[in-house]
Structure 1
Amino acid sequence: MPASGGHSATSSATSSGAYSEADLERFVPETHSGARSDFERDRARVIHSSGLRKLAAKTQVLSPTAGIDFARNRLTHSLEVAQIGRELAASLGLDRDVVDAACLTHDLGHPPFGHNGERAISEWASDAGGFEGNAQTLRILTRLEAKRFTESGESAGLNLTRATLDASCKYPWSLEEAPTGSGKFGYYADDAPVFEWMRAGAPARVKSAEAQTMDLSDDIAYSVHDFEDAIVSDHIDPLILTSRSGHDSLIADVADWAGGSFSTDELSAAYDRIATTPTWLTRWDGTRQHQAQLKNFTSDMIGRFARLAIAATRESAGQARLVRYGASIVVPQEVRAEIAVLKGIVAAFVMASGRRQPTYRRQRELLTELLDALWATQSAELEPAFQADFAGAVDEAAARRVIVDQVASLTDQSAIAWHRRLCEVPLV
């Protein structure tokens, strides 16, 4: 594999020896001058990427096309994840730029319409290696978002350092190695070479401490901010939450969503702890007083989750450095249960809501029809970069992967526009 090129000035964590020369290597060697560290350069490349900008028009929970102008999108969510991750990294002795960059990249691979769109594309690509948002993130960072090229002329993507690229990987295994029933994996078969380079020296199937921090930051942000959006958009009425009528049914729904990871007793106790928070809302009328109370509730939850995880991790690690694979991030079971309750409530009232199902179904149909239309026209309607990829495809599976790459790169709005142009019969 390529050796690293020259390095610029390093951050405090790197200069103190916490990160090795191997951690700073890039797939294609580079030499830089200037004051920025290699990890600061990684973060800058992510911030300036088109993939990050596109997240502004991709679904978090509520689609940007829904006409609700205050709800979070994938970009604002990623910025919030990065803010949490950066503070966790500072408290845990990890490089803040590595964790920050990983948090900013963690959703780059999400297609139009979020997890609902992911489901539709995965089904369409089932005989060509499937589709997974995290595997797509690696593909974007190492191939599709071009900045550097190998000597043979192949794109090396943003060419991030090994430590930063590895920190962006939630699932360090292939589809074939994925846990039964999870469907979660970190790379496609044709991206195996760069995955293996990235994981050089890493224990099999273990996430780095930086990746674990990114994952925790995502869970924290996802749980509290999507809950906040669901309240503000009137998908959740706090009066219903505080009513004991139907409480057991709600906890059962949350338990079902959590997939058996927690007992109903654990989730009920977690709910009770959350509901005793001084800033917990018992009603919502949209006034500034209630807006402030809801905002302070989310802050209280973020602070609680972070403090308990930091304390548990420090106690477990002792004097060990967490950097890369020095130790693991420890999240107490009570924190995991509370995060699951907040996520599960949103799932029950928004994602599983009967009134949302026709919208979700139509979104999946739209993407499937668009994939079929592009496959039927082969490369004719693809963007130039994807036309070149299609021309170089070695077999049908590789060609179908190009179609998937194109559709996954679209925003919610552009997917709708492409579908209108290619799939809807014009009036004559």
Structure 2
Amino acid sequence: MDGEIMVSSPEQSWTQRYSEFLQGQESRQARIVYQRDRARVIHSASFRRLQAKTQIFGLSESDFYRTRLTHSMEVAQIGSGLVEQLITVGTEGGKEADYLPWLPSMYLIEAICLAHDLGHPPYGHGGEVALNYMMRHFGGFEGNAQTLRILARLGEYTPENGLDLSCRTTLGVMKYPALYNEVIAHNADYQSQLLEPEVTDFRTLQMHRWNPPKSLYSEEKAIFDWVLSPFCESDRNHFTELTMCEGACHNRTRYKALDTTIMELADDIAYGIHDLEDAVAMKMVSRDLWQAEVMEDPVFKQYHLWGEEMTARLFSPSSRARKHAISKMVGLMVESIYIDQNPLFEHPLLRYQAKLAEGESAVLELLKRFVFKNVITIPEVKQMEYKGQLIVLDLFKSLRANPTTLLPRSTYAKYAQAESEQAQQRVICDYIAGMTNTYASRLYAKLFTPTQGSVFDVL
């Protein structure tokens, strides 16, 4: 197989929806299917709720800063730009590259990018950790796993199959193709933690010990198997294998599908550059700090993608100048994309991998570290995340103890019909995970603040 690509039709089985698979129906043409996938995501309640879920800064900070919704839109725009660049590169010199028939269409990559954050709970990673703690004995919680759950089960487009997106769109959204229980089974430290008694005072809970593994829920195993069914057994085995993690951490999958690599590059560019813009606008990072930790860093000095003029524009009092700098940085990253091949895989959707050139990749990682260190993990941001965690934990504890009186009727109907305790807890988890920051804080105030709340409140 070395140097060869398995020959099969780019459309074979990938446009099929799970409902069509279950009913033995033929799938439709790719253009129609992927366009409708994108439409289903855009018109879903989960997508609209992203406008009230945080990206970095709290929603009360300002109307200007990015939310999960605007972030997802930026990822989609960058993703389509990356595909367009790959088409341009792949047709240079009058010869078409072998990977061109396998590139996602603009509809497809935008559907994947717009959907990639649908499963993020209120309060971002903090809410994710809180929900994982409360679900630790019931299949866990993880944002990417929740995204697949929305696509496959919770979305409103079909009664039983969620948004029911096509097989290829679903594959593209699956960043970590392994099941939750299989991942934690390899973590002895985590298994020991699961034997600890439940913390009664959540303020004493060591949140960092309950970071969820990057994975998918066992409840979605059937659709997971369906998405992987077009691949041969060897490809499936390699695609789902885990890397061994040393220390108190979870193992992870090491490989991703072609469309996922494009989406992740777009996500990283948006995180490392667009989120940087918010930090600069809020004056959370100074020009001196930028100079010391980016411009003077050995990695940047080695590749030197831009000069002092970029720094002057980035920290200019003019928002137009700052926007020009951000746009230029994004453009440099997008124009460096290329397709590599992993000979381990037979199928083109796994064999072809989108990557950035060495210099651009190294500088983007530097920018991501800069944002993480000086924005994401500073006490002012982590304090707000911690408050959100406590809200999620207290809401879950109360709903678990009083489902008949506190759950909305439609949610309680699902709870009452659940066939196991794990399924019941998943219903509560789905309800909280679907909340916006605003909804969660209002419900918390209604339940626990004596001077607030009314039977006429519309949350």
Q: Same fold judged by TM-score > 0.5?
A: yes
> Is 1:46–1:104's contact at 8 Å kept on the other side of the alignment?
yes
Partner of 2:83: 89
How much does 1:391 deviate? Answer: 1.3
> Is 1:366–1:416's contact at 8 Å kept on the other side of the alignment?
yes
Partner of 2:74: 80
Q: Deviations over 1:214-249 (max 9, x none)?
A: 11111111110111100001111113322x4xx5xx
Distance 1:336 1:184 in 2: 25
Partner of 2:244: none
How much does 1:51 deviate? Answer: 0.7
Distance 1:277 1:76 in 2: 29
Distance 1:331 1:384 in 2: 49
> Is 1:26–1:159's contact at 8 Å kept on the other side of the alignment?
yes
> Is 1:58–1:113's contact at 8 Å kept on the other side of the alignment?
yes
Worse-superposed segment, 82-91 or 324-333: 324-333
Question: How many residues get paired?
Answer: 382
Distance 2:385 2:302 in 1: 32
Instruction: Tell me whether 1:361 sits opposite 2:361 in the alignment.
Output: no
> Is 1:138–1:186's contact at 8 Å kept on the other side of the alignment?
no
Distance 1:372 1:355 in 2: 27
3-state SS, counterpart of residue 28 of structure 1: helix
Partner of 2:179: 174
Distance of aligned partners of 1:26 and 1:275 in 2 relative to their CA distance in 1, 3 Å threshold: closer
- What letter matches 2:136 in structure 1? S
Q: Which runs of 5+ in 2 are unaligned?
A: 1-7, 87-99, 188-210, 241-254, 454-459
Distance of aligned partners of 1:413 and 1:210 in 2 relative to their CA distance in 1, 3 Å threshold: same
Worse-superposed segment, 210-219 or 331-340: 331-340
Computed over aligned residues only, the root mean square deviation of the Cα atoms, in angstroms, reads 3.1
> Is 1:56–1:73's contact at 8 Å kept on the other side of the alignment?
yes
Distance 1:50 1:307 in 2: 34
Instruction: Tell me whether 1:377 sits opposite 2:402 in the alignment.
Output: yes
Instruction: Tell me whether 1:38 sits opposite 2:33 in the alignment.
Output: yes
> Is 1:322–1:328's contact at 8 Å kept on the other side of the alignment?
no
> Is 2:16–2:28's contact at 8 Å kept on the other side of the alignment?
no
Q: Deviations over 1:358-409 (max 9, x none)?
A: 3222111111111111112114333444223211222222211111110110
Distance 2:433 2:40 in 1: 21
Partner of 2:208: none
Partner of 1:4: none
How much does 1:274 deviate? Answer: 5.7
TM-score, structure 2 normalization: 0.75
Partner of 1:54: 49
3-state SS, counterpart of residue 147 of structure 1: coil
3-state SS, counterpart of residue 22 of structure 1: coil
Instruction: Tell me whether 1:163 sits opposite 2:175 in the alignment.
Output: no
3-state SS, counterpart of residue 325 of structure 1: helix
Partner of 1:231: 280
Distance 1:327 1:33 in 2: 25
Q: Deviations over 1:42-82 (max 9, x none)?
A: 11111111111110110001121x33111000000000100
Partner of 1:222: 271
Worse-superposed segment, 86-95 or 271-280: 271-280
- What letter matches 1:190 in structure 2? E
How much does 1:147 deviate? Answer: 1.5
Partner of 1:254: none
> Is 1:281–1:294's contact at 8 Å kept on the other side of the alignment?
no
- What letter matches 2:47 in structure 1? L
Partner of 1:135: 145
Distance 1:177 1:274 in 2: 43
> Is 2:54–2:68's contact at 8 Å kept on the other side of the alignment?
yes
Instruction: Tell me whether 1:280 sits opposite 2:307 in the alignment.
Output: no
Q: Select the residue among 197, 215, 220 that pairs with 2:226.
A: 197
Higher relative contact order (CA 8 A, sep 6+): 2
3-state SS, counterpart of residue 119 of structure 2: coil
Partner of 1:125: 135
Partner of 1:187: 216
Distance 1:176 1:34 in 2: 37
> Is 1:228–1:294's contact at 8 Å kept on the other side of the alignment?
yes
How much does 1:300 deviate? Answer: 1.9
Partner of 2:93: none
Q: Deviations over 1:259-315 (max 9, x none)?
A: xxxxxx9x6313774684354325877632xx22321222222122222222xx26x
> Is 2:72–2:116's contact at 8 Å kept on the other side of the alignment?
yes
3-state SS, counterpart of residue 20 of structure 1: coil
TM-score, structure 1 normalization: 0.80
Partner of 1:7: none
3-state SS, counterpart of residue 72 of structure 2: helix
Q: Select the residue among 306, 327, 344 that pairs with 2:334.
A: 306
Q: Select the residue among 272, 287, 300 that pairs with 1:270.
A: 300
Distance of aligned partners of 1:277 and 1:106 in 2 relative to their CA distance in 1, 3 Å threshold: farther
- What letter matches 1:63 in structure 2? G
Distance 1:334 1:35 in 2: 36
